């Protein structure tokens, strides 16, 4: 624990003295998070989380700070650790400990061992609700720390799938299944922030470039749409025929990565899979091609294979590494293939996290209310939460929409007449 | 039955002699329906429908003719009637009877009584599978003709919802729930064909106009996207907060119809509801505003209310009716508020129906195979059919996509490592 | 002259009795021509053309009728013939003669000899101002009918270039050089009306198609933008490096026609040149490719060469001709390669012609005022007319814009300070 | 002169020892400047500037370094000072002096007095050709330093207009009149870099925001297109009716700033004028509105007026200043109203400057060849330079375009036949 620790708040952060610098950031994020603020106002009144312990493993950023504060203001005891050591904002961590008394265990650049220690620090508090961006807490609870499983009433997570999803021992709301999350976080947020991060890393002019987007899930769609919106000619690669078809009908060229790589000025991977760019594709790239990754994990570009093809490697600009290939071509990799919008940008805009985190806060409330009747499996976010978040977001934008009249409601549910 | 009837084929059509003129249209549609042709080739080999009676109530068009032929070539005995008397192509009906021996009961402009007779002619053949564009056959089977219910193994339908959906007595595949249908028919097809129909009716320049789209379901989204693609400034109205939010985040202005009506040069309704444009909105319209409907039924614009506000009414161009309001404004209604892409255009492009009808043909095959194990309720189209249609469509476009490697498949289903 | 001729009005039209049917069309166009109506109101007051004879060779359409009426209401004696026999609307011609007493010489489908006679009928009236859509009157005045040259004070024209432009013997305002004309007529009008005409001819779904646009002048840009706006993937071919570069930076792929032809589902020519699609390109086309022309003249597609490659040819749909090539491929040509928006559509929307014709009307006024001081050469449309038309158009749209303050005007003309 | 000066190279820079850090940046820019490299290769062969003294007043950036090196490699003696002290990259200045021996007089943050000294240091070398980004050297030569005027053969400049333009005493090529400059620098470059700079300053999500763009010149058009491409709903204000009309026909809403200000989430000025946002507009702004400027000079937002309306002011994030207005609203100004893409971004992408600087280099060659026959006034960039730059750019992109056949050339210049 750092020297001038906050009395009474268990924590492991860089330095509480950094709070000064982080305060403005938490406030600036607050400004762009009107939906979460609306939830917070409700929570302050209704106190739905009183007496509940919430353990959260999230990117420790200014936006997350606003979520943690909202949960706290709803009555919860909140303990926080980092979903990713690279994204931890030490100054924000300091604000949480110092100004808000929220137990935080997060240090930028912490090694894997320290991260595990931080997860365990959270689990030691016996959280009744877990929040995961990814599935770190859930993963640890179901593997190394099954001893802590029994006290958990429910949790939220993202990216739970396959065998892992089938094995969960408590009700988990998959917030990435919510409409608003998919719209804001996966599509709008990833779309803009990926392009933004590429521009910050390279200062490339996108107009006139051939940009290949690997993957046409919500993230890839957002990236493709924004790249086109900035004047690029966009190619899409996919493994799923429905998504491939959607890309084609959206006016994008669709082809295999082997063919796409030959034409690419810039490739952005957004598939959630590994080795999407591999040796067979590197062999086709044009001289000066630029590669980056917008997927969660850094395995999408097989940089090891690329390194084996290279005779030299150097950083030519911050976050831009040049691989001089033995055949004379040069290839550039951004941020070493790590998730680019976190590595070279600022992650999602606050207004994106606003919607995601409002959904999360309402999902925590929902779990606390309904855990007794929920099956122990992965659940979609309740439609009612989606609707409520959408309504609050529209209100924050000053948008009023129509309502069905009684007559219209009746019309919608009747058998058509005249048989 | 008409004078020079086709021997042995029961039918009620305008005139078999019209076949000559309809043949080219059936062929032209064929050209744009490569997916259905691929299904047909499969069917010719595997004969999945041998001995089955299929009753279909669809728009009798050149595209439907290709579906009916495909089902017939799969071994079925097909009987066809019209989902909408206004959309019946008498020449195509003649081709079906004369060239393909398909029993057809459809006459353009038939009155309601004749339509009922046509439905019953189909039901008299004791169909084992019903196809509905809408739910005319299903509706009649569940109300006036319950005597024919017991022999039905399954059906396909569109737009089944509410009490009607809950009451179905046999397994029904809701083809409008299929991904490809939603993508092609509801969004791409309605989007383009609605705009196309408006241009044919008016020859308006869309660039610079303020266009209001009521409803941001797939149809409304397609219309909004295409109107913007032609240079219009688009406003969206909605009753659903999620759809409203999506429209706003897509960059459209969203507001109540009362406000939108004040600014509209053109209003297009696409909600599936009634009285979306009603007196309160007519009162706000600018002089020379133009109104039309892209929804299934003609009740979206309350033309009766408009007529009560008008001192005179005249057709100023084919399909364009001018209402001279008592306050001096003039308002124009296209195609009397009927579904515009059928009324003034040619309905969906053949390549749209290609995807829908390939899905329908495969759904019929699926029902015949699986009816015994399917619950008696509305089912979504099986995901496998969607994938298969998407694959066939991509192939027809000459698009090749990537496949997951074994290693990638494994990666996708594992727990992330390191807990 | 037809039997029931209008007394006192010299004319050669199909039949004055057709006026009844044409009246609605002239009125409907009127509705979409607020700028021309604003000019007409001015003209009625100021009578700038009193005593002047105006000879006009234009497409005889409902929009042209409104121009002719405007000039007449400004005091001119107007005589009209057809710029293109295919575009003549016989019913509108009848309205002009019967309702407005405007001497009209135009019959749909007239042969070349009759057209020459119509030109001469106009020239016999010794027009002082000529209006040409193309340069038919000017061409004839400078070749076969130089006897009539001396009385002409000035004229307007489109497409005058090369040797022809250098040889003109009186001041000619090239209305196609006006900003509003380029924006509305060449880009917005051609863009929408070409796509509209293709849809009417084929009912193709553009989404997902590869569309090749030959030429990236204003027309080609408009077509490319609208095709993209409807979901197509657009390729551009060009001979001019600046235009080619502009297309590339707009996000379109740019390549030679030889390469583009291999990928095209649809090719649209818009170059103003001949043999843009020639044998070498036909040889590369995919099976079922569709070809059409949006340029003024029908020489852009070398249909003769295509015919030589074909073993059979038939009309498969109105305006759609199938060429069965000897190698088994089929290629479709729309409207025999004629200007598609006139051949299968309705030409430009009235609101496009509104701007063009308001410019023409003001150009006629300008010529009558200033002919004495204008050099005998081709002049650009005066900037003041462009501004005035733009202002009137904005007013008709209800758009108010800002004005420079005095301080701002001063700021714009000063040397920057501080040297 | 700094301590460890480069022997023999006159200069005033921060520190030659900074060269190390600047080298990578000059190289990275080089990579994105293929057109300028093509010019440089030509220059190295043809040595068109041998013995000529070139004085350049430009933003001292990595891209400018590449231009200076190109001119030097063409044989010129180059002396460089800064067009704007805020944009000077001290490390690049060091590279120029140390690696390339180019006399450079530029220090980031220099005061006005120092800047004047730097201009004079350039003028002391008696340059025969001047290069201005803006018109600093030209301005000083025509006011305080007319003694140096006589030796100047010609110059290039941007933004010369009004009285200043009329007073120039030597031939000046206005590079901002070149097609490529307008396309790349003013529209594509400003469009992307302004949006990029706003995102860096704020991390706002643009989707769903109402963005007001003041001015629809090339810069404003670029910004409006990019903001729309990122999902914003864009409003445009203008004083010029033609530009206003173009914006409206491009599908943007156009209105007075007084009305626009009421709806704006973000306002971007790009007019080149002063007080485009003034007290009357500040009074209408919504709470939390954000203001910034993309125009050359920082007078477009009247920040003094805003300050007078405010009770407090603080920086809430780097480059983001919050004005707490007396009526309770908060308004945010980015970069104190200075040119945002330089202040918070990195200015134009290198590939934009590539085109501009290739044009400048060729313009210098042109001046040196043709000065004797050029009038002493402002000239547009010769069309041939535009074509050459466009060709080289297309080549660098790997784009091949078609050429006119002889027959096609002939067709284009003939009178149409048949009169």
Q: Give C271-308 pLDDT, tens digit per residue.
A: 999 999 999 999 999 999 999 999 988 999 999 999 99
Q: Which of B259, B390, B404 sits opposite A239 (nearest CB)?
A: B404
Torsion sign across C-alpha atoms B362, B367, B369, B373: positive
pLDDT digits (tens, 9 = 90+) for C27-67: 999 989 999 999 999 999 999 999 999 999 999 999 999 99
**CB-facing half-sphere around the CA of A240: CA atoms within 13 A:** 17
Flag if D230 and A231 touch (Cβ within 8 Å): no
Are the beta carbons of C228 and A249 separated by less than 8 Å? no
Nearest CA in chain C to B353: C205
Smallest CA–CA distance, residue A385 to chain D, in Å, is 21
- Give the pLDDT confidence score for residue D417 in this predicted structure: 46
Put simply, the answer to whether C249 touches D391 (Cβ < 8 Å) is no
- In contact, C258 and C278? CB cutoff 8 Å: no
- Given B297, B401, B408, which is nearest A244 (Cβ)? B401
* Interface contact D238-C402, CB threshold 8 A: yes
Identify which of D24, D195, D203 has the shortest CB distance to residue A349.
Answer: D203
Q: What's CA D10's distance to the chain center, in Å?
A: 27
**Chain D residue with minimal CA distance to C276?**
D408
Contacts of B320 in chain C (CB under 8 A): 28
C-beta of residue C199 within 8 angstroms of C-beta of residue C221: no
Provide, as residue numbers in chain A, all residues whose Cβ is less than 8 Å from the Cβ of B416: 134-135, 139, 164, 297
Residues of A in contact with D263 (CB under 8 A): none
How many angstroms separate the Cα of C206 from the Cα of each of B61, C266, C270, D204, D340? Answer: 20, 9, 18, 35, 40
Residue D142's pLDDT is what? 92
Tell me which chain C residues have a C-beta less than 8 angstroms from the C-beta of B315: 24
- Cα→Cα distances A1→A11, A15, A105, Å: 7, 9, 10
What is the arithmetic mean of pLDDT over C178-191? 90
Best residue in D207, D208, D216 for a mutation probing chain B (most B CBs within 10 Å)? D208
C279 to chain B, minimum CA–CA distance in Å?
A: 24
CB contact under 8 Å between D228 and B251, yes or no, is: yes
Name the residue facing A251 among C228, C248, C249 (closest C-beta).
Answer: C228
Residue bearing tokens 């002096």: D97
- Complex ipTM tops 0.90: yes
8 Å CB contact between B139 and A415: yes
Which chain C residues have a beta carbon less than 8 Å from that of B397? Answer: 208
Task: State the nearest Cα–Cα gap between C79 and chain D, in angstroms.
Answer: 19
Per the CB < 8 A criterion, the answer to whether C56 and C79 are in contact is: yes
The reply to whether residue D273 touches residue C136, judged by beta carbons under 8 angstroms, is no
Measured between CA atoms, the residue of chain D closest to residue C216 is D401
* Structure-block tokens of residue C11: 């004319």
State the burial class of residue C144 (Cβ atoms within 10 Å of its Cβ: 0-12, 13-18, 19+). middle
- Partner-chain contact D230 A230, CB within 8 Å: yes
The CA distance from C397 to the nearest CA of chain B, in Å, is 8
Note the pLDDT tens digit of each residue in D11-59: 999 999 999 989 989 999 998 999 999 999 999 999 999 999 999 999 9
pLDDT value at residue B2 = 42
What sign does the CA torsion over D383, D387, D393, D396 have? negative
Q: Say whether A80 sits in a helix, a strand or coil.
A: strand
Inter-residue contact B194 to B268 (CB < 8 Å): yes
Q: From first to last of its 419 residues, what are the pLDDT tens digits of chain A?
A: 344 445 677 899 999 999 998 998 999 999 899 999 999 999 999 999 999 999 999 999 999 999 999 999 999 999 999 998 888 999 999 999 999 999 999 999 999 999 999 999 999 999 999 999 888 899 999 998 999 999 999 999 987 877 778 889 999 999 888 888 889 988 999 999 999 999 999 999 999 999 999 999 999 999 999 999 999 999 999 999 999 999 999 999 999 999 999 999 999 999 999 999 999 999 999 999 999 999 988 899 999 999 999 999 999 999 999 999 999 999 999 999 999 998 888 888 999 999 999 999 999 999 999 999 999 999 999 999 999 999 999 999 999 999 999 999 988 876 554 44
- Compute the distance between CA of residue B188 and CA of residue B197 in angstroms, rounded to an integer: 14
Over 70: is that where the pLDDT of C7 sits? Answer: no
DSSP H or E stretch at residue C332: strand C330-334
- For C235, the closest chain A residue by CA position comes to A233
Inter-chain touch B205–C196, beta carbons under 8 Å: no
Q: Do D416 and C163 touch (CB under 8 A)?
A: no
Buried/exposed B161-200: b ≥16 CB within 10 Å, e otherwise: beebbeebebbbbbbbebbbbbbbbbbbbbbbbbbbbbbb
Contact D237 C183 (CB under 8 A): no
Q: Which of A207, A208, A210, A225 to mutate to test the interface with C (most CBs of C within 10 A)?
A: A208
- CA–CA separation, B260 vs B254, rounded Å? 8
Per-residue pLDDT at B6: 56
Residue B418 is predicted with a pLDDT of: 46
Binned at pLDDT 50, 70 and 90, residue C414 comes out as low
Q: What is the pLDDT of residues A274-315, one digit of tens each?
A: 999 999 999 999 999 999 999 988 899 999 999 999 999 999
**Residue C306: CA atoms inside 13 Å, Cβ hemisphere, count?**
29
What are the pLDDT tens digits along chain B (419 aa)?
344 445 677 899 999 999 998 998 999 999 899 999 999 999 999 999 999 999 999 999 999 999 999 999 999 999 999 998 888 999 999 999 999 999 999 999 999 999 999 999 999 999 999 999 888 899 999 998 999 999 999 999 987 877 778 889 999 999 888 888 889 988 999 999 999 999 999 999 999 999 999 999 999 999 999 999 999 999 999 999 999 999 999 999 999 999 999 999 999 999 999 999 999 999 999 999 999 999 988 999 999 999 999 999 999 999 999 999 999 999 999 999 999 998 888 888 999 999 999 999 999 999 999 999 999 999 999 999 999 999 999 999 999 999 999 999 988 876 554 45
> How many Cβ atoms are within 10 Å of A315's Cβ, its own excluded?
11
β-strands B129-132, A77-82 pairing: unpaired
Distance from C-alpha of C268 to C-alpha of C191, rounded to nearest angstrom: 11
Outline where DSSP puts E strands in D65-171: 77-82, 103-106, 129-132, 154-157
C129-137 average pLDDT score: 92
Distances (CA, A) of A92 to A34, A96, A118, C177, D143: 19, 6, 17, 60, 54
- Cβ–Cβ under 8 Å, residues A186 and A204: no
C397 contacts in chain B (CB < 8 Å): 208
Of D208, D248, D249, the CB nearest to B248: D208
Q: In the beta sheet, which residues pair with residue A332?
A: A290, A322
| Nearest CB partner across the interface for C203, out of B195, B230, B349 | B349
Question: Are A320 and D188 an interchain contact pair (Cβ–Cβ within 8 Å)?
Answer: no
CA–CA gap between residue A75 and residue B201 (Å, rounded): 61
Q: Do C231 and A249 touch (CB under 8 A)?
A: yes
Instruction: Give residue A286's pLDDT.
Output: 96
Closest by CA to A112, choosing from A136, A132, A134, is A136
Question: Where residue C346 falls among pLDDT bands split at 50, 70, 90?
Answer: confident
C188 to chain B: which residues are within 8 Å by CB? 205, 207, 231
Alpha-carbon distance B20 to nearest alpha carbon in chain A (angstroms): 34
CA-CA distances (angstroms) from residue C64 to C76, C110, C347, D129? 15, 18, 12, 55
Q: Residue D418 — pLDDT band, cuts 50, 70, 90?
A: very low
Q: Which residues in chain D touch residue B208, judged by CB atoms under 8 angstroms apart?
A: 248-249, 251
Q: For residue C210, give the chain A residue with the closest CA.
A: A251
Whether D245 sits inside 8 A of C163 (CB atoms) is no
Indicate yes or no: CB of A230 within 8 angstroms of CB of D28.
Answer: no
D15-33 burial, b for 16+ CB within 10 Å, e for fewer? bbebbeebbbbbbbbbbbb
Pick from B206, B350, B352: which is nearest to C192 by CB? B206
Q: From the list B228, B250, B253, which residue is nearest D251 (CB)? A: B228
Distance CA C345, CA B205 (A): 13
Give the number of other Cβ atoms within 10 Å of residue C319's Cβ: 21
Structure confidence by residue, pLDDT tens digits, D286-344:
999 999 999 988 899 999 999 999 999 999 999 999 999 999 999 999 999 999 998 88
The two tokens of residue B303 are 């033309």
Nearest residue in chain C measured CA to CA from A244? C208
Which residue do the tokens 């429908």 mark? B49
Chain B residue with CA closest to C187: the answer is B207
- Say how many CB pairs under 8 Å bridge A and C: 28
Suggest the residue from B117, B132, B241 to mutate for an interface test with chain A (most A CBs closer than 10 A).
Answer: B241
Place of tokens 């090891």: A304
- Interchain CB distance below 8 Å, D233 and B249: no
Per-position DSSP letters for A30-64, written without gaps between them? HHT-HHHHHHHHHHHHH-TTTT-EEEEEE--SHHH
Cα D39–chain centre separation: 20
Nearest to B204 among C204, C230, C349 (CB): C349
Residues of chain C contacting residue D222, judged by C-beta atoms under 8 Å apart: none
pLDDT tens by residue, D121-160: 999 999 999 999 888 899 999 998 999 999 999 999 987 8
Tens digits of per-residue pLDDT, C361-383? 999 999 999 999 999 999 999 99
d(CA B359, CA B344): 27
CB contact under 8 A, D244 and C162: no
Q: In what order do the strands lie in the sheet with D172-174?
A: D12-13, D103-106, D77-82, D53-58, D129-132, D154-157, D172-174, D378-380
Residue of C nearest to D161 (CA): C413
Beta bridge partners of D155: D130, D172
Q: How far apart are CA D365 and CA D36, in angstroms?
A: 13
* Residues 6 or more apart whose Cβ sits within 8 Å of residue C138: C130, C132, C155, C157, C160, C164, C168, C172
**SS3 for D150?**
helix
pLDDT the model gives residue A135: 85
Is C6 a residue whose pLDDT tops 70? no
Residues forming beta bridges with residue A228, ordered by sequence position:
none
Minimal C-alpha gap between B4 and chain C (Å)? 26
Kindly determine whether residue B228 and residue D207, on different chains, have CB atoms separated by under 8 Å: no
The shortest C-alpha distance from C395 to chain B (Å) reads 13
């Amino acid at each position: 624990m750092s020297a001038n620790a906050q009395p009474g708040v268990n924590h492991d952060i860089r330095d509480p003295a950094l709070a000064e610098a982080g305060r403005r950031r938490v406030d600036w994020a607050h400004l762009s998070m009107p939906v979460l603020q609306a939830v917070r106002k409700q929570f302050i009144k209704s106190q739905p989380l009183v007496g509940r312990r919430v353990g959260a493993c999230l990117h420790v950023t200014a936006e997350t700070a606003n979520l943690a504060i909202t949960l706290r203001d709803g009555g919860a005891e909140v303990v926080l650790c980092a979903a990713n050591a690279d994204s931890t904002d030490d100054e924000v961590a300091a604000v949480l400990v110092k100004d808000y008394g929220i137990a935080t265990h997060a240090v930028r650049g912490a090694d894997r061992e320290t991260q595990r220690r931080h997860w365990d620090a959270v689990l030691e508090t016996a959280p009744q609700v877990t929040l995961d961006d990814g599935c770190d807490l859930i993963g640890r609870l179901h593997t190394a720390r099954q001893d802590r499983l029994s006290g958990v009433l429910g949790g939220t997570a993202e990216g739970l799938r396959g065998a892992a999803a089938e094995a969960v021992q408590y009700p988990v709301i998959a917030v990435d299944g919510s409409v608003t999350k998919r719209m804001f976080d996966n599509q709008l947020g990833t779309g803009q922030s990926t392009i933004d991060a590429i521009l910050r890393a390279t200062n490339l002019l996108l107009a006139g470039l051939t940009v290949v987007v690997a993957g046409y899930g919500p993230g890839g769609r957002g990236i493709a749409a924004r790249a086109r919106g900035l004047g690029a000619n966009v190619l899409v690669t996919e493994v799923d025929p429905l998504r491939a078809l959607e890309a084609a009908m959206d006016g994008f060229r669709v082809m295999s990565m082997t063919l796409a790589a030959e034409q690419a000025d810039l490739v952005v991977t957004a598939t959630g899979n590994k080795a999407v760019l591999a040796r067979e594709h590197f062999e086709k790239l044009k001289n000066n091609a630029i590669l980056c990754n917008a997927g969660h994990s850094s395995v999408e570009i097989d940089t090891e294979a690329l390194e084996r093809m290279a005779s030299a490697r150097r950083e030519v600009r911050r976050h831009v590494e040049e691989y001089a290939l033995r055949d004379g071509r040069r290839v550039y990799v951004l941020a070493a293939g790590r998730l680019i919008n976190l590595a070279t940008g600022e992650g999602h805009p606050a207004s994106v996290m606003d919607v995601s985190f409002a959904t999360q806060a309402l999902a925590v409330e929902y779990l606390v209310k309904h855990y007794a009747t929920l099956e122990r499996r992965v659940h979609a976010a309740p439609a009612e939460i989606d609707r409520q978040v959408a309504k609050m977001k529209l209100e924050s934008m000053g948008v009023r929409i129509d309502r069905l009249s009684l007559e219209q409601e009746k019309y919608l549910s009747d058998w058509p007449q005249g048989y």
